[in-house]
Structure 1
Amino acid sequence: MKRFTNILKKIGPLPLILAVIALIIIIIAGTSFSGHVASHSLWSAVVAAFTSAILGASAWFGNNYGMGIIVFTILIRFLILPLMVYQIQSMMKMQIVQPALKALQSKYPGKDTESRQLMMAEQQALYKDAGVNPFASMLPLVVQMPVLIALYQSIYNSQVLRSGKFLWLQLGNNDPYYILPILAALFTFASSWLSTQATPEQNGMTKAMPYIFPVVIFFSAIAVPSALSLYWVVGNLFQTIQTFFLQNPFKIRRQRELESQKERDMKRKIKKAKRSTKR
């Protein structure tokens, strides 16, 4: 209970309030849909609930299924926002202890069992002192994946949603002008780039991620119906805005520069004090 309370304190009240409001609106949208979506298992019941909510939201806009998908995608993003806040906070804590972890790896370069055990013991002590759980950042991903998969399947499996029209799009067909795939790729790049820029130390894979993911999303969006491409565009745009506010690399860099400057000033003062003492 204490750990759960600490997690809630770290997340803060605003993401939790937004998540509750989003959940209420999703429930209202689902119950306002007068039709029936068939289900034959627990998982299909979840997908059916998502489909009903999208169709209910679409009815608010005169059965505009494109608007229904946009509204529901935004609501889902707000629903999982507390998890994303917790994940980002955990990742930032891990970044702070990275220099100390590298020092431990240099201290125990051996591959024998004794060296590994000693290094793991000191790592656990380091995590405990810093208040870091190395697996905490994985929990939100595990929780949100079923939600996102259910949303994906509710759009993909619903003939009603895919038969709708939105702007220049036939939601069941590919985007003929490739506008949605391009936007999905651009927003994926923006989100990935902002996230990696906030990371102080990057390896080859970290540097390549902002360029690999957009290519994958682009070709995937070309191959799927426009309804799914629209979902990716809205979701990735939300992710970009979320990353900017929660993991702003420009703000983080300024803070690190100030801390580095303070550290350098302190070292100069210590050296100056030592020289004065020797005189």
Structure 2
Amino acid sequence: MRHFFQKNAKILFVCFLILFTCTACSSPRAKDGRTKVDQIIASETVQIKKSEVNTTEISNQKLKKKYAKLDDNDMITIQPTSFSEAFDNGWFEGLIVWPLAQLINKVSASTDAGIGILVVTVLIQLLVFALTGKSQMASQRMQEIQPELQAIQNKYRGRTDEASQMKMYRETQALYQKYDIHPFGTILITFIQLPIMMGMYYATIRSYNVLVGSFMGVNLSTTPMEGIQSLNVAIIAIYVLMVVAQLVSFRLPTWLKKRQEEKDHVKKHEYRQENKENNMQSSMNMYMYTMTIMFAFIYLNWPTAMSFYWCVTSLFRIIQNIILHHAMNKVKTA
């Protein structure tokens, strides 16, 4: 573990810096749930009704006084948001939020808000896979080297002295290095995904086309909680599908592995370390279910646009896992 943190200290520092920057960003949503008018990102000069945005919790006092004189049905003009303006508010907003929001705006302009989010989400997931694909392939190799890993552990079984434990650690690390495996690579994947997810949150909340647009008649700025209260079947369906897709994406690798073992008629032997694997699996399951429940509660009060984004993300991962599974098995049988 210490070797891992020493080797990846710079990467982890950048990840923590990104997360710190994300948490430091001001919320684009006001207490009433509406987007603050001065937080909207537009790609062209547009107008929006005062009643559709919040004008009382903005930082610009002159605009605040100006908007206070308007009626709810009066229109407010929104000027295009430039990169320099976004970057002045922080590099996270300039380099991540602004490009995502503008890309959503551009795609949505010729289609609808849902298609804009879908296209941007797929592009993001392809980028994430390009950055973390090696770690995902390594997790597949980890399953294949279990016999060799068990042989090392059996060699030092019952030897609890520090010298023996250090030798076992070195041999284990040499085995990981031989197969180019990074056991803690999933930590980096999580840190990479979190700022991207936060960037998409800010982008979808602040994108003008998402704010005023829809997807197949569904107002994506409405929250699932509002959809449940009004019995909006479409919004409820998107929310439920998001939760189900997330659960399936978490559990799918385990299901695929079990199915492949049954297909190959693999018998479990002692080297499979059933107790250890069960403990690891239980920990992973607890993490997965905790994350799903956490997101389910959070997303109840976030715009449906975010539920739609996470639903598309989970569906993408399901397809990705299936493709990776078949690709790894083809390599094994080649």
Q: TM-score range by the shorter chain?
A: 0.5 to 0.7
Shift of 1:187: 0.9
Counterpart residue number, 1:13: none
Counterpart residue number, 1:21: none
Counterpart residue number, 1:73: 121
SS of 1:80's equivalent in the other structure is helix
Counterpart residue number, 2:250: 192
Counterpart residue number, 1:233: 311
Structure 2 residue identity aligned to 1:244: I
1:156–1:115 distance in 2 versus 1, CA, 3 Å: farther
Deviates more, 1:82-91 or 1:48-57: 82-91
Deviates more, 1:133-142 or 1:191-200: 133-142
Is residue 183 from structure 1 mapped to residue 245 from structure 2 by the alignment? no
Shift of 1:79: 2.4
Counterpart residue number, 2:174: 125
Counterpart residue number, 2:219: 170
What 5-or-longer segments of structure 2 have no aligned partner? 1-41, 45-79, 228-232, 259-276
Shift of 1:239: 1.1
Q: 2 CA distance for matches of 1:65 and 1:50?
A: 13
Shift of 1:169: 2.5
Counterpart residue number, 1:88: 136
**How do 1:102-251 residues align onto structure 2 when only pairs under 5 Å count?**
102-106=150-154, 107-158=156-207, 161-175=210-224, 176=227, 177=233, 178-198=236-256, 201-202=277-278, 203-208=281-286, 211-248=289-326
* Deviations 1:197-228 (CA, angstroms, capped at 9, x unpaired): 34574432234556544433333332211111
1:231–1:91 distance in 2 versus 1, CA, 3 Å: same
Do the aligned partners of 2:213 and 2:219 also contact (CA within 8 Å) in 1?
A: yes
Deviates more, 1:135-144 or 1:221-230: 135-144
Q: 2 CA distance for matches of 1:44 and 1:243?
A: 31
1:147–1:208 distance in 2 versus 1, CA, 3 Å: closer
Aligned residues with identical type, % of pairs: 25
Structure 1 residue identity aligned to 2:183: P
> What CA RMSD, in Å, does the superposition of the two structures yield over aligned residues?
3.1
What 5-or-longer segments of structure 1 have no aligned partner? 1-31, 259-279
Do the aligned partners of 1:156 and 1:162 also contact (CA within 8 Å) in 2?
A: yes
1:226–1:78 distance in 2 versus 1, CA, 3 Å: same
1:131–1:36 distance in 2 versus 1, CA, 3 Å: closer
Aligned residue pairs total 222
More helix by share: 1
Q: 2 CA distance for matches of 1:73 and 1:182?
A: 19
SS of 2:135's equivalent in the other structure is helix
1:141–1:211 distance in 2 versus 1, CA, 3 Å: closer
Counterpart residue number, 1:274: none
* Deviations 1:152-181 (CA, angstroms, capped at 9, x unpaired): 221134465233332342222213142122
The structure with higher relative contact order (CA 8 Å, sep 6+) is: 2
Counterpart residue number, 1:28: none
Do the aligned partners of 2:247 and 2:289 also contact (CA within 8 Å) in 1?
A: yes
* Deviations 1:121-161 (CA, angstroms, capped at 9, x unpaired): 11122223334333445444444443332122211344652
SS of 2:181's equivalent in the other structure is coil
Shift of 1:255: 9.8
1:247–1:213 distance in 2 versus 1, CA, 3 Å: farther
* Deviations 1:34-80 (CA, angstroms, capped at 9, x unpaired): 4325412211102112111111111121xx22221122112212222
TM-score normalized by the length of structure 2: 0.57
Shift of 1:109: 4.2
Do the aligned partners of 1:65 and 1:164 also contact (CA within 8 Å) in 2?
A: yes
Q: 1 CA distance for matches of 2:186 and 2:295?
A: 23
Q: 2 CA distance for matches of 1:142 and 1:80?
A: 11
